[in-house]
C-alpha cells in the first residue's frame, strides 16, 4: 500500500496521462488509495460521481475523453457505487464506429448490465451488425457481448449469425461462437435444441483450440444425458490418445504438458460416459493408463491431469491395474508437502474408497495428519472423507471428532453442515441409545439453532417410539436416560430454542413416567425454562403443554395436583399473553386440571403420543344433535358446492338490511371498500337473518333489485369469500379462533365450535406431533447435502449393500425389511408425510445405482429414507464380492427384484404383528453391529489406534 501511495504521488507529479489516462483519473485513484476510512472513500467517490454526471453530458466530448469517463464509471461501480446514470452512455458507445470506443462500450455494458436490463434492446441491433463485420476482432467483441447480454427472448435475434460464425475462417471466432452457443444452451436449452449436433461437428475441427472449446458444451450435455453420447467414446478416446502422444501443435503445450486443459476435459467426459458401462470403460483403459504413465508428477498441471485420471478411474467400471495406478498416485499426493496436493489426495481417496475401501488403510496416518492440520480447507475435506468412511465400528470416534471441530468453528454455514452430518451418522450407526442421546445433546447444545427443526422432531419421535415396542424395558430405559440427561442440562444458560423444545416435550411426556421424579420438581424446572426464555413463544408453548401433560398424568393416576406458586403465576401470566396460542394453552391447562380423573384420562392418555388419532371428518357423531336442531326449526346445512353454484345471498341481503338500518342516507361511493365488511357486522347479521326468512325466489328478486350492477358483483364476491371462510373453519381442522358465526347455519356452527374446543383439548397432547407433521412435509434439504447424500448412498453403502443382499439374501433382506417396518411405523403416524412418500418396498431401493443417485437427487424424501437406511448390513460383505457383483448386470437386477417382493411380503407379515418382531429387530440390529466389527470387514484398522 505504501508502495502504491508513493507511486501514485510520483505519477501524479511526474506525468500527465501516464498509462494513457488523464491526471484526474490518477488523482482519483491516488486519493482513494490514500483514504483512511470507508467514509472518506465514499465521499471521494460521490464527488467523482457528481463530476462525471456533469461532464458526461457535455456536448462534443473527444472520443478519448469519453472512453476515460466510461472507464471511470466502471471503476466507480466496482467500488460499490451506483453508476446507473452512465449506462446509457456506455450503450451509446457501442454504436460508435471507432473500434476503440466500441470495445470500451462493450466492456462497460457487459460489466454494467444484466441480460434482462431494459437497455439491452438498444444493443441487440448493434450486436447483430457487428456479428456480420469483416473485422474478426469486432466480431469477437460482439460475441463477448452476446455471451453476457443475450437473454432467452433475444436469442432468436442473433442465433442465425452465431451459427454462421461456427464456420468462420478464424479459429478464435469459431471458438467464441461455440461458447456463445453454449451460453445460449445454458440460458434456454429449448431455443438451441436443434443445433446441438454442431457441438459434435466442432469436435472434428482442425484447430485443437476449437475442439477443446466444443468439449465444454459437450460436458454439460453429457452430464444430463450420458446415454445418447455413448457413441462419442471412441472418438474421444482417440483424441485423448493423440493429445497424450503429443500429436498436437507445439503451441498447445503448457509447461511441457500437451494441452492439459483439453486432457482434463476429456477425462471428465470419459468418466461420465464410462460410469457403470463396462463396454465403454474397456475402451478407455488403455488411454487412461497411458495418460497416467505420461503425467509429470512434479508440475502442478501434471498433478491436475493425474488427479483427473484418478477421478476417471474411480468413476468408470473398475480395472485392477488402473486402480493400482490410482492408489499409487494418491499415495504420492498424500506424501507430498504441498497442502494443495494433500487436499487433492484426500479428495481422490474419498472417490476411490467407494470402489476399493482397503486403499484407505495404507493412508490412515496421512489422513489423521490432515485432520489435525491447521489448514481449514484440508480439515474439512478430511471430514468429508471420514463421513464417507463411517460405519458402526468407527462412528463414535468420527462423530466425536466432528463435534469437537463443530464446537471450535464460527462459520455458521459449515457448522450447520457438520451438525447435520453428525445427526445423520448418529441416526444411522448409533451403537447405543445412551450414546445417541448424548451425541444429540451435544449437537443441539452447540448448534441447536442451526440444525433443521426436523431433527428435533425426529429426536422426539425416536424417544417416543423407542424402537417400536411399547412395553419393553429398553424403551423406558431410553426415555429415563433422556429425562435424566435433560434434567441435568436444563439449567445451563443459552440453550438453543430447538433443544429446549425437545427438552420440554420429553419432560412433559416422560418426566414423571417412572415415578423417579416428582411432578412438582419437573414442573418447577419447566417453569424455570419458560421464565428464562420469556421472549421465545415456541418454547413457552412447549413448556405450557408439558405442564399440562404432567398435571393431567398426575391427576389421571389419581394423585392430587397441587400447583407450585411459580407455576401458578406462569399460567396467569400466559393467560394474559399477547400470543393467542399461549393464551389458549394456558386456558386449556386451567380447564383440564379441573376436570375429573376419568375425563382427563380420556383426553390426555398417558404415553399416547404415538397413537393414531382418528379424525371423523364427517363429524358423524353430531348427527343426532343436528337432527334435533333441525327439528327445532334450524336451517339445514347447505353443502359448499351448492352454495358456490348459487351464491348465497341470504347473508348479503341481511347485510344490506343491516347497512340500511344503521345509515339512513347512503351514497354509492361508499360501496367500494368492502373488504372489512364481512367481519364487521356479524352480530346484527345473525339477528337479521333470523328476521328475514330466506327462500329461493326471494333472493333471485333481490339480485335484480340491486341498485347498481357494480356494487352487486362487489358485494357478491365478498359474500362468496365470506362463505368460504366460514366453511373452512367449520369443516377444516378444529380451530380455536372464534369464527364469525354466519347467518344460515349459525346453530350448527355453534355446536361445532363447542365440540371443536373439546376436541382441541384432547388433541393438544398430539400438538407437538401435529406441528411436526405439517413441517415434515416440505422438508428442505440443502442441495449441498443432497449432493453428498447422493454420492454417499449412491456410492459406498450401495455398493456394499448389494452383494450382501445377494450372497446372504435371507439375513440382509430380513434385516432390511424389519428396518423398513420401523420406518413404516414411523411414517404411519404422520399421514401427510406418508402420502408423499413412495410405497414401502421402494424405500430400500436395490435397483440400478445410477437411477438411485438421480432419483435421490430429485426426491427429498428419498434422501430422508437414505438417512434412515441401515447401511450396517454391508459389513459382512467382502470387497471383492462388492466389485464383482455390482457389475454383473441384469441378473442382479432380476435378483434384487425378487428380493424386493420378498421384502414387501415380509413387510406385510411384520406389520401384522408389529411389536415382538420389531423388538427382535432391535436385538438383531445390535447383534449385527457387534458382529459387524470383525477384522475381515472392509476397513478395520483405520481407527484402531484411536479406538485403542
Partner 1 sequence: MIRAVMVMNTQGKPRLSKFYDFQPPQKQQELIRTVYSVLCSRPENVSNFVNASSIFGPDCQLVYKHYATLYFVFVYDSAENELAMLDLIQVFVETLDKCFKNVCELDVVFNYCKINTILDEIIFGGQVVETNSAEILRAVEDISKLESTASSTISLVRKPVSSWQTWQSR
- Tell which positions 760-799 bind partner 1, by CB under 8 A: 782-784, 787
Of 110, 56, 49, nearest to 83 (Cα)?
Answer: 49
Inter-axis angle of helices 300-315 and 320-335, to 10 degrees?
Answer: 140
Out of 12, 44, 61, 111, the residue judged to bind partner 1 by CB under 8 A: 111
* Binding window for partner 1 (CB under 8 A); candidates: 68-76, 353-361, 461-469, 589-597: 68-76
**Given candidates 43, 47, 129, 255, which one binds partner 1 under the rule CB under 8 A?**
255
Grid coordinates given for 220? 454439460
Minimal distance in Å, beta carbon 176 to partner 1?
6
Report 318-357 residues binding partner 1 (CB under 8 A).
338-340, 342-344, 347
Q: How far is the CB of 789 from partner 1 (least distance, A)?
A: 13
**Rounded CA gap, 703 and 647, in Å?**
10
For residue 305, with 0-12 CB atoms within 10 Å meaning exposed, 13-18 middle and 19 or more buried, which class applies? buried
**Minimum gap (Å) between residue 623 Cβ and partner 1:** 55
* Angle ∠(660,666,671) on CA atoms, nearest 5: 95
Q: Which of 45, 49, 56, 74 binds partner 1 (CB under 8 A)?
A: 74
Site for partner 1 contains 902 (CB under 8 A): no
Answer for the pair 561, 595: CB distance below 8 angstroms, yes or no: no
Q: Pick the closer one to partner 1 by CB: 33 or 760.
A: 33
> Which residues, 475 to 494, sit near partner 1 by CB under 8 A?
none
**Beta-carbon neighbour count of residue 78 at 10 Å?**
10
Positive or negative, the Cα torsion across 190, 192, 194, 198?
negative
Residues 195-214 that bind partner 1 (CB under 8 A): 209, 212-213
Beta bridge partners of 258: 253
| 411 part of the interface to partner 1, by CB under 8 A | yes
- Nearest distance, CB of residue 324 and partner 1, angstroms: 22
Tell the smallest beta-carbon distance from residue 321 to partner 1 (Å): 23
CB-nearer residue toward partner 1: 207 or 773? 207
Q: Which is nearer to partner 1, 107 or 592 (CB)?
A: 107
What DSSP line would sit under 582-595, residue for residue? HHHHHHHHHHHHHS
Cβ atoms within 10 Å of 310's Cβ, excluding its own: 28
Q: In this chain, which of 122, 157, 301, 400 binds partner 1, going by CB under 8 A?
A: 301
**Is residue 107 a contact point for partner 1 (CB under 8 A)?**
yes
Q: What is the DSSP letter of 116?
A: T
Cα dihedral 285→315→941→880 (10° resolution) = -60
How many whole angstroms separate alpha carbon 720 and alpha carbon 4?
A: 72
| Cell 457505487 found at | 81
The CB-of-213 to partner 1 minimum distance in angstroms stands at: 6
CA distance 403 to 731: 48
Which residue(s) pair with 254 in the sheet? 257
Among 31, 49, 52, 77, binds partner 1 (CB under 8 A): 77
Euclidean distance between CA atoms 122 and 106, whole angstroms: 12
- What is the secondary structure of 814-845 as a DSSP string? HHHHHHHHHHHHHHHH-HHHHHHSPPGGGTS-
Whichever of 196 and 216 has its CB closer to partner 1, that residue is 216
Q: Which is nearer to partner 1, 35 or 694 (CB)?
A: 35
Nearer to partner 1, 148 or 807 (CB): 148
Which span (253-261, 507-515, 799-807, 857-865) binds partner 1, by CB under 8 A? 253-261
Q: Is residue 894 near partner 1 by the rule CB under 8 A?
A: no
Which of 127, 131, 142, 147 forms a contact with partner 1 (CB under 8 A)?
147
Q: How far is CA 394 from CA 708, 874, 937, in A?
A: 79, 14, 12
Which region, judged by CB under 8 A, interacts with partner 1, from 95-103, 455-463, 528-536, 690-698? 95-103
CB of 862 to partner 1, least distance (A): 18
Dihedral angle, C-alpha 607, 610, 613, 614, nearest 10 °:
-130
374 counts as binding partner 1 under rule CB under 8 A = yes
Which residue number, 376 or 690, has a Cβ lying nearer to partner 1?
376
860 binds partner 1 (CB under 8 A): no
Minimum separation from the CB atom of position 673 to partner 1 (A):
38
Is residue 848 packed enough to be buried (19+ CB in 10 Å), middle (13-18) or exposed (0-12)? Answer: middle
The SS3 assignment for 254 reads strand
Q: Annotate each residue in 380-399 with x if it binds partner 1 (CB under 8 A) or - if it does not, as one string.
A: x-------------------
The footprint of partner 1 on residues 915-934 (CB under 8 A) is none
Number of other residues whose CB lies within 10 A of the CB of residue 531: 14
Count of all residues that appear for the chain in the document = 948
Q: Write the DSSP assignment of 376-432 as a string of letters.
A: HHHHHHHHHHHHHH--TTTHHHHHHHHHHHHHH---HHHHHHHHHHHHHHHHHH-S-
The CB-of-116 to partner 1 minimum distance in angstroms stands at 9
Residue with smaller CB distance to partner 1, 381 or 801: 381
Q: Which of 300, 831, 838, 901 binds partner 1 (CB under 8 A)?
A: 300
- Using alpha carbons, select from 424, 418, 350, 341 the residue that is nearest to residue 389: 350
Q: How far is the CB of 258 from partner 1 (least distance, A)?
A: 12
- Beta carbon nearer to partner 1, 25 or 652: 25
Asked if 378 is part of the footprint of partner 1 (rule: CB under 8 A), the reply reads yes
Closest C-alpha among 428, 355, 414, 354 to residue 379? 414
Nearest approach in angstroms of CB 43 to partner 1 is 16
Q: List the one residue from 89, 176, 658, 729 that touches partner 1 (CB under 8 A).
A: 176
Contact status: 89 vs partner 1 (CB under 8 A): no
DSSP, collapsed to helix, strand or coil, labels residue 706 as coil
Q: Is 555 exposed, middle or buried (0-12, 13-18, 19+ CB in 10 A)?
A: buried
Contacts of partner 1 in 575-594 (CB under 8 A) = none
Burial 807-818 (b: 16+ CB within 10 A, else e): eeeeebbbbbbb
Task: Please say which residue, 378 or 463, places its beta carbon nearer to partner 1.
Answer: 378
Residue among 130, 277, 308, 759 that touches partner 1 (CB under 8 A): 308
> Strands (DSSP E) along 214-300, which ranges?
253-254, 257-258
Query: Which residues in 5-64 contact partner 1 (CB under 8 A)?
Result: 7-8, 10-11, 14-15, 18-21, 25-26, 29, 32-33
377 or 810, CB closer to partner 1?
Answer: 377
Shortest gap between Cβ of 451 and partner 1 (angstroms)? 16
Closer CB to partner 1, 115 or 472, in the complex? 115
* 189 near partner 1 (CB under 8 A): no
Q: How far apart are CA 163 and CA 195, in angstroms?
A: 8
Task: Determine which residue in the list 12, 44, 61, 99 makes contact with partner 1, applying CB under 8 A.
Answer: 99
- The whole-angstrom separation of Cα 612 and Cα 810 is 32
Min dist. Cβ of residue 851 to partner 1 (A): 21
Closest distance to partner 1 from the beta carbon of 162 (Å): 12
Q: How far is the CB of 200 from partner 1 (least distance, A)?
A: 17
Which DSSP state fits 295?
Answer: -
Site string for partner 1, 125-144 (x = CB under 8 A): ----------x-x------x
Distance of alpha carbon 478 from alpha carbon 840, whole angstroms: 27
Q: Is position 114 an interface residue for partner 1 (rule: CB under 8 A)?
A: yes
Amino acid at each position: 500500500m505504501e508502495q502504491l501511495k508513493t507511486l501514485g504521488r510520483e505519477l501524479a507529479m511526474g506525468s500527465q496521462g501516464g498509462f494513457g489516462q488523464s491526471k484526474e483519473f490518477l488523482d482519483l485513484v491516488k486519493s482513494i488509495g490514500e483514504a483512511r476510512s470507508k467514509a472518506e472513500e465514499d465521499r471521494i467517490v460521490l464527488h467523482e460521481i457528481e463530476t462525471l454526471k456533469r461532464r458526461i453530458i457535455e456536448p462534443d466530448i473527444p472520443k478519448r475523453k469519453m472512453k476515460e469517463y466510461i472507464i471511470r464509471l466502471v471503476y466507480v461501480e466496482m467500488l460499490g457505487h451506483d453508476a446507473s446514470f452512465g449506462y446509457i452512455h456506455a450503450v451509446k458507445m457501442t454504436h460508435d464506429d471507432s473500434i476503440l470506443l466500441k470495445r470500451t462500450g462493450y466492456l462497460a455494458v457487459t460489466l454494467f448490465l444484466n441480460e434482462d436490463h431494459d437497455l439491452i434492446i438498444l444493443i441487440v441491433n448493434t450486436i447483430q451488425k457487428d456479428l456480420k463485420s469483416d473485422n474478426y476482432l469486432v466480431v469477437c467483441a460482439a460475441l463477448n457481448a452476446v455471451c453476457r447480454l443475450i437473454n432467452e427472448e433475444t436469442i432468436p435475434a442473433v442465433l442465425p449469425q452465431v451459427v454462421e460464425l461456427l464456420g468462420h475462417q478464424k479459429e478464435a471466432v469459431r471458438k467464441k461462437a461455440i461458447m456463445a452457443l453454449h451460453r445460449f444452451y445454458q440460458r434456454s436449452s429449448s431455443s438451441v435444441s436443434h443445433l446441438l449436433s454442431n457441438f459434435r461437428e466442432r469436435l472434428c475441427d482442425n484447430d485443437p483450440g476449437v475442439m477443446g472449446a466444443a468439449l465444454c458444451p459437450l460436458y454439460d450435455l453429457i452430464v444430463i444425458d450420458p446415454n445418447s453420447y455413448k457413441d462419442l467414446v471412441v472418438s474421444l478416446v482417440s483424441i485423448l490418445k493423440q493429445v497424450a502422444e503429443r500429436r498436437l501443435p507445439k503451441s498447445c503445450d503448457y509447461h511441457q504438458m500437451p494441452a492439459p486443459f483439453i486432457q482434463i476435459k476429456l477425462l471428465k467426459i470419459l468418466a461420465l460416459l464410462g460410469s457403470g458401462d463396462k463396454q465403454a470403460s474397456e475402451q478407455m483403459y488403455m488411454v487412461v493408463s497411458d495418460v497416467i504413465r505420461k503425467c509429470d508428477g512434479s508440475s502442478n498441471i501434471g498433478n491436475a491431469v493425474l488427479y483427473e485420471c484418478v477421478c476417471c478411474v474411480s468413476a468408470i467400471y473398475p480395472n485392477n491395474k488402473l486402480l493400482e495406478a490410482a492408489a499409487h498416485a494418491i499415495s504420492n499426493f498424500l506424501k507430498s508437502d504441498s497442502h494443495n496436493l494433500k487436499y487433492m489426495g484426500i479428495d481422490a481417496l474419498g472417490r476411490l474408497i467407494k470402489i476399493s475401501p482397503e486403499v484407505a488403510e495404507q493412508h490412515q496416518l496421512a489422513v489423521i495428519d490432515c485432520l489435525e492440520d491447521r489448514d481449514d480447507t484440508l480439515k474439512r475435506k478430511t471430514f468429508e472423507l471420514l463421513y464417507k468412511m463411517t460405519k458402526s465400528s468407527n462412528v463414535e470416534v468420527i462423530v466425536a471428532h466432528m463435534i469437537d471441530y463443530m464446537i471450535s468453528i464460527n462459520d455458521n454455514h459449515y457448522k450447520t453442515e457438520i451438525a447435520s452430518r453428525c445427526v445423520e451418522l448418529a441416526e444411522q450407526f448409533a451403537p447405543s441409545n445412551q450414546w445417541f442421546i448424548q451425541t444429540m445433546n451435544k449437537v443441539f447444545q452447540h448448534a441447536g439453532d442451526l440444525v433443521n427443526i426436523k431433527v428435533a422432531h425426529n429426536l422426539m419421535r425416536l424417544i417416543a417410539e423407542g424402537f417400536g415396542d411399547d412395553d419393553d424395558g429398553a424403551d423406558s430405559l431410553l426415555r429415563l436416560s433422556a429425562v435424566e440427561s435433560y434434567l441435568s442440562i436444563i439449567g445451563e444458560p443459552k440453550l438453543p430454542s430447538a433443544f429446549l423444545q425437545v427438552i420440554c416435550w420429553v419432560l412433559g411426556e416422560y418426566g414423571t413416567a417412572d415415578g423417579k421424579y416428582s411432578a412438582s420438581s419437573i414442573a418447577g424446572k419447566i417453569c424455570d425454562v419458560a421464565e428464562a426464555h420469556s421472549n421465545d413463544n415456541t418454547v413457552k408453548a412447549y413448556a405450557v403443554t408439558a405442564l399440562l401433560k404432567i398435571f393431567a398424568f398426575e391427576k389421571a393416576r389419581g394423585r392430587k395436583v397441587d400447583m407450585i406458586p411459580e407455576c401458578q403465576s406462569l399460567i396467569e401470566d400466559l393467560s394474559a399473553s399477547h400470543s393467542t396460542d399461549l393464551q389458549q394453552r394456558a386456558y386449556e391447562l386451567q380447564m383440564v386440571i379441573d376436570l375429573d380423573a376419568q375425563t382427563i384420562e380420556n383426553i390426555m392418555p398417558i404415553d399416547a403420543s404415538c397413537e393414531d388419532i382418528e379424525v371423523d371428518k364427517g363429524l358423524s357423531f353430531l348427527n343426532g344433535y343436528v337432527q334435533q336442531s333441525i327439528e327445532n326449526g334450524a336451517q339445514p346445512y347447505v353443502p359448499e358446492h351448492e352454495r358456490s353454484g348459487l351464491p348465497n345471498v341470504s347473508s348479503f341481503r341481511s347485510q344490506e338490511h343491516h347497512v340500511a338500518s344503521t345509515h339512513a342516507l347512503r351514497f354509492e361511493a361508499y360501496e367500494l371498500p368492502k373488504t372489512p365488511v364481512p367481519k364487521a357486522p356479524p352480530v346484527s347479521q345473525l339477528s337479521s337473518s333470523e328476521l328475514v326468512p330466506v327462500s329461493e325466489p326471494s333472493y333471485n328478486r333481490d339480485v335484480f333489485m340491486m341498485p347498481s350492477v357494480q356494487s352487486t358483483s362487489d358485494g357478491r364476491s365478498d359474500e362468496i369469500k365470506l362463505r368460504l371462510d366460514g366453511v373452512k373453519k367449520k369443516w377444516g381442522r378444529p380451530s380455536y379462533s372464534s369464527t364469525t358465526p354466519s347467518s344460515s347455519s349459525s346453530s350448527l356452527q355453534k355446536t361445532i365450535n363447542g365440540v371443536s374446543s373439546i376436541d382441541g383439548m384432547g388433541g393438544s397432547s398430539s400438538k407437538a406431533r401435529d406441528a411436526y407433521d405439517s413441517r415434515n412435509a416440505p422438508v428442505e434439504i440443502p442441495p449441498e447435502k443432497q449432493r453428498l447424500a447422493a454420492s454417499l448412498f449412491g456410492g459406498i453403502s450401495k455398493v456394499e449393500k448389494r452383494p450382501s443382499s445377494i450372497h446372504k439374501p435371507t439375513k440382509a433382506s430380513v434385516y432390511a425389511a424389519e428396518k423398513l417396518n420401523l420406518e413404516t411405523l414411523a411414517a404411519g403416524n404422520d399421514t401427510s408425510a406418508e402420502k408423499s412418500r413412495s410405497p414401502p418396498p421402494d424405500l430400500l431401493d436395490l435397483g440400478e445405482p445410477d437411477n438411485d443417485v438421480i432419483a435421490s437427487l430429485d426426491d427429498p424424501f428419498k434422501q430422508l429414507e437414505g438417512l434412515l437406511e441401515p447401511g450396517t448390513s454391508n459389513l459382512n460383505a467382502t470387497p471383492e464380492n462388492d466389485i464383482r457383483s455390482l457389475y454383473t448386470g441384469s441378473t442382479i437386477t432380476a435378483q434384487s427384484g425378487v428380493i424386493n417382493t420378498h421384502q414387501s411380503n415380509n413387510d406385510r407379515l411384520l406389520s401384522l404383528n408389529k411389536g415382538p418382531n420389531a423388538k427382535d429387530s432391535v436385538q438383531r440390529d445390535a447383534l449385527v453391529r457387534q458382529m459387524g466389527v470383525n477384522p475381515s470387514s472392509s476397513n478395520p484398522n483405520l481407527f484402531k489406534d484411536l479406538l485403542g
